[in-house]
Structure 1
Amino acid sequence: MTVLASALDVMSAEYAANKEAMLGKLADVETEHAKAIAGGGEKYIARHRGRGKLLARERIELLTDPDTPFLELSPLAAWGSDYAIGAALVTGIGVIEGVECLITANDATVRGGASNPWTLKKALRANEIARANRLPCVALVESGGADLPSQKEIFIPGGALFRDITQLSAAGIPTLAVVFGNSTAGGAYVPGMSDHTIMVKERAKVFLGGPPLVKMATGEESDDESLGGAEMHARTSGLADYFALDELDALRQARRVVARLNWSKAHADPPPAAPPKYDENELLGIVPGDLKVPFDPREVIARVVDGSDFDEFKPLYGPSLATGWATLHGYPIGILANAQGVLFSAESQKAAQFIQLANQRDIPLVFLHNTTGYMVGKEYEQGGIIKHGAMMINAVSNSTVPHLSVLMGASYGAGHYGMCGRAYDPRFLFAWPSAKSAVMGPQQLAGVLSIVARASAAAKGQPYDDEGDAALRTMVEQQIESESLPMFLSGRLYDDGVIDPRDTRTVLGMCLSAIHNAPVEGARGGFGVFRM
């Protein structure tokens, strides 16, 4: 039998402590999510509603099919920066008329929806997801353009947004802009470059230069409506393909545009699958509060995959990395899950072989992270850990099947790379609130700096300041600890969101469904030279 047997004792003190720690971290994440949802705050929400306008998430809810989920992406973008959490933009995957689409919506309650550097990063990530997974794009536009004080960080790289729209269209991926308010200056090119454009009567304002700029540049007197209003663009310029009477009419017309795309997925959806045999709520108590304490990732797998059924590959070889085959919501997957944290040579070679097998079978890979990195030490260096770790990273780098990564616990050093971290272009990467990621653990990093400083002082024949060393170590540990936490990393878009462990199966299932809009094709060669 390949159904996983669980050894998790949900009545133990250890489980209770783990669960309490996880719930505390979840509460912290939910508090920050609430700030993103609050947008510009009560004052600006009231002003927005006073103008008879819907909020960004309300527009998305009315646009998408009833009773279908919306997978919001990067909700904590800009966390820890000087800008509002969420970066004045909502992005995610939703279903419109049965079609999975990448949806973006400006939050006009935050500085009028103006784009700051994190808005740009978030929008570019959304376009990247749309391109890789062949998802039609729907932009709900209401933005004053660039946040001018930060223009130096936006203007030059911001041109990629317009490039993306045209390249998506060239790749046969439909683009649709629905303009609810301002879409000015460079932002005017969003509806200008989209395949389909809808504008709302007496609300949409689309022009390269508004009346004040036109006055300054040419001396011409003009008004918003004649210069860039929806009716003018529908009747005169031809920029508007559809003229909407109000916001609800615009969303109705957007649904009809999507319904007429004649869009189909590259792969048919699988039949309904059996749920896991174990309660998803038990995922709260698996990861220890102290990540130095190991845990068995099979307990996670048993609560995520269909029927808790997992065919393990090489179970007796390289045991600190669990690899094997399963299905999730009916989609076949290969899983690589760190078992004891450290990756040795055997684990690295096993991973490389497993990744090659997945590519031969055109099966997506799911990476479940809890690794402190590749093993160090004279014995392991002499045993070839560098070339074996390089073999695993080579396989990950050149694999062409879709990759999904979930950071459950630690994800340190080159182990983060070998397990398909952000730099290795996973289709999606999510983190649990328990996750940490950095070049190494805080204590190890601070210790290394201390050893180097002590050796430097000795080489110069100078006395070493032990008191200052202790203070420096404390400061470094605190800095690295804060910079390795999931909200810090999510704020910089190093993941696509911090998720509740109980939602892991649902989130991965939605991602797998989105992935199968595009062909899933593995590499049949081209892995480069494996150093044996």
Structure 2
Amino acid sequence: MPVLESLINTNSQSFQENREVMEQHIRTFRDIEKLIEDKAWAKKEKYAKRGQLLPRERLELLIDPDRPFVELSSLAGYKMYGDKDGSTAGGSSLAGIGYVSGVRCVIMVDNYAIKGGTITPIGLQKRLRLQQIALENKLPMVALSQSGGADLNHAVETFSPGGRAFYNQARMSAVGIPQITVVHGSATAGGAYQPGLSDYTVMVRRQATMYLAGPPLLKAATGEVATDEELGGAEMHCQTAGTGEYLAEDDRDAIRIVREILAVLPWHNSEQELSFDEPLYPPSELPGVIPVDSKIPYDVREILARIADGSRFLEFKGEYDQQTVCGHIHIEGQPCGIIGNNGPITPEGATKAAQFIQTLDQSGIPLLFLHNTTGFMVGTEVERNGIIKHGSKMIQAVANARVPRISIVIGGSYGAGNYAMCGRGFDPRFLFAWPNSTTAVMGAAQAGKVLRIVAEAKAERMGQKIPAEMIDAMEQKTVAQMTEGSSALACTARMLDDGLIDPKDTRRILSYLLDICRIAESRRLNSSTFGVNRF
């Protein structure tokens, strides 16, 4: 396979400037993550007096310490739903994919230390996304549950969509995906069905409670008086009602039980010892590869040279179109096809990509999209060359490909180009973004000019004249709104990706994701009609 030769001078001033700006983007989102964590750790003494571990402590106790863990959507809800400074972002949970007793799992830990773990609409969206990942990749799901339930300030937005979470649980059990839940605290009303629909439920003595109506509502509705323990304590559920399968003495004991359950399930990963060469150019150089000015082009092959085994790349139709780059690479011994952008998608680029996707689908090779495009090319010439027709072919191929598809937004992802490159709306198996990235219908400056032209044309038709300062202000406001709303932080807050990643980690994370997909494709599930029911 041909070896890529990097043309970048890593000692140049531009490379150092690029690296410093990218590192600042990285520090920005890492600082927000630390802010969230610091807010939780400030409550450690309070919860320690109750005999409870903090959410992050529970997570670290659960996962195998010497194995990879990829956190998901750590900034979901950033500056949304009352989050004024970013300290309550995260969608009320800590989540990711990691190993528990050697079994790779989707893990969700309610972050009860932040606003009691109450669930906003974005928190619900995060939970649904985790279930989708577990289903698509045939991964067991572990939930460490302690939440105040739905945020009542947004209950109208979460009630109806929230039913989907229970539907997903029922379907996951039926297809044969194990679900294990620890009830660390209160699980009330709809929240009680989450452990109820799990296949294995662990409850912590004198700490966990589970009921459809708590003591105050019970008294108001029926006049009956009962304590928490009488109504829905852990001992009652494990000894009388049979809702819980395992009774734990404390948080640590509950997590020990989860690890023992997973250790006896026949769910160990079919891991392979693959031999591979490291890239000739280290991934640590990636922050300096992307120009600070997004208008300055760069070659996506420079990215490939730093993530591909041995920097080897077998290009597909390299002479046919230079704007859309297609070809084969290996990442830590695992094959994948890549589609990257060196500019807008032309009619030729769209047909090349569509053909390449079909070859991968035929061979069962996963597909990696590296987004950096302004979208489809526009203009009279490309319209006459059938850009809509050929672009539709590419979109058809992306939508219908049966192989796992992974997207990384490394630069801009604009307009229908986002769709053609397997954006969120096309259900990629995983989608991550670099912290410099932008996702939008069009560029901010372009959007401002479009609205200006439309407003001026409308005023002219009506025989009116808009004051120059007014139309300038409108254009500037549009640019500011589009710039803020399309940034990496704004997009990850709305869960348009599965999280922001440091470019230096791209190769390592892609290897992990490709391995998840490989095992999922080969794993056979023991499905049933209804799933596991309690009796």
* TM-score over 0.5 for the pair: yes
Q: Percent identity?
A: 45
Aligned to 2:95: 91
Task: Decide whether the 8 Å contact of 1:135 with 1:517 is kept in 2.
Answer: no
User: Amino acid of the residue matched to residue 79 of structure 1?
Assistant: Y
Deviation at residue 40 of structure 1 after TM alignment:
4.7
User: Is it true that 1:70 corresponds to 2:69 in the alignment?
Assistant: yes
Structure 1 residue 27 and structure 2 residue 27: aligned? Answer: yes
Give the corresponding residue for 1:469. 471
**Correspondence 1:460 to 2:462:** yes
**1:41 shift after superposition:** 6.5
TM-score, normalised by the number of residues in structure 1? 0.95
Partner of 1:100: 104
Match of residue 491, structure 2, among 479, 489, 505 = 489
TM-score (norm 2): 0.94
Partner of 2:326: 323
State the match for 1:12 in structure 2: 12
Bigger Cα displacement from structure 2, 168-177 vs 454-463: 454-463
2:461 is aligned with what amino acid?
A: A
For residues 10-49 of structure 1, the C-alpha deviation after alignment (integer angstroms, 9 at most, x for no partner) is 111111111111111111111211123235572x443223
SS at 1:452 equivalent: helix
TM-superposed CA distance for 1:346, in Å, is 0.8
Q: Any idea what SS the aligned residue of 1:374 has?
A: coil
- Counting matched residue pairs gives 518
Note if 1:143 corresponds to 2:150: no
Q: Work out whether residues 364 and 520 of structure 1, in 8 Å CA contact, stay in contact via their aligned partners in 2.
A: no
- C-alpha distance in 1 between matches for 2:67 and 2:124: 28
8 Å CA contact 2:102, 2:268 repeated in 1: no
1-structure distance, mates of 2:275, 2:219: 62
Q: Secondary structure at the match of 1:38?
A: helix
Paired with 1:46 and 1:118, the residues of 2 have a C-alpha distance of 29
Q: CA deviation at 1:66?
A: 2.2
**Secondary structure, aligned partner of 1:426:** coil
Aligned ranges 1:354-433 → 2 under 5 Å? 354-433=356-435
Which residue does the alignment assign to 2:203?
199
Letter of the 1:75 partner, please give it.
Answer: S
Confirm or deny: 8 A CA contact 2:52 2:250 kept in the other structure: no
Superposed CA deviations along residues 160-183 of structure 1, whole A, max 9, x for unmatched, are 111111110001011000111111
| 8 Å Cα contact 1:306-1:326 kept in structure 2 | yes
1:129 counterpart residue number: 133
How far is the alpha carbon of 1:268 from its aligned partner?
4.6
Q: Is the 8 A contact 2:40 2:54 kept in 1?
A: no
Greater displacement, 52-61 / 278-287:
52-61
Contact 1:337-1:367 within 8 A present in 2 as well: yes
Aligned 8 A contact 1:270 1:330 in 2: no
Name the CA distance, whole Å, in 1 between partners of 2:193 and 2:440: 39
Out of 435, 442, 445, the residue aligned to residue 444 of structure 2 is 442
The amino acid that maps onto 1:201 is R
- 1:101 aligns to what SS in structure 2? strand
Instruction: Tell me which residue corresponds to 1:50.
Output: 49
Distance 1:39 1:330 in 2: 41
8 Å CA contact 2:357–2:397 kept in 1: the answer is yes
Deviation at 1:466, TM superposition (A): 2.0
1:303 is aligned, of 303, 306, 314, to: 306
- 8 Å CA contact 2:445–2:479 kept in 1: the answer is yes
2:323–2:341: 8 Å Cα contact kept in structure 1? Answer: yes
Q: Given the alignment, which residue of 187, 190, 197 partners 1:183?
A: 187
TM-superposed deviation, 1:270: 5.0
Q: Write the distance in 2 (CA, Å) between the matches of 1:489 and 1:41.
A: 27
How far residue 513 of structure 1 moved from its aligned partner, in angstroms, is 1.8
Residue 285 (structure 1) aligned to one of 284, 288, 291? 288
| Comparing 188-197 and 504-513, the one that deviates more | 504-513
State the SS of the aligned residue for 1:21: helix
Deviating 4+ runs (over 6 angstroms): none
Note if contact 1:269-1:513 (Cα within 8 Å) is conserved in structure 2.
no
Computed over aligned residues only, the root mean square deviation of the Cα atoms, in angstroms, reads 1.5
Partner SS for 2:123: helix
Which residue of 192, 199, 218 corresponds with 2:222? 218
- Structure 1: give runs of 5+ residues left out of the alignment: 522-532
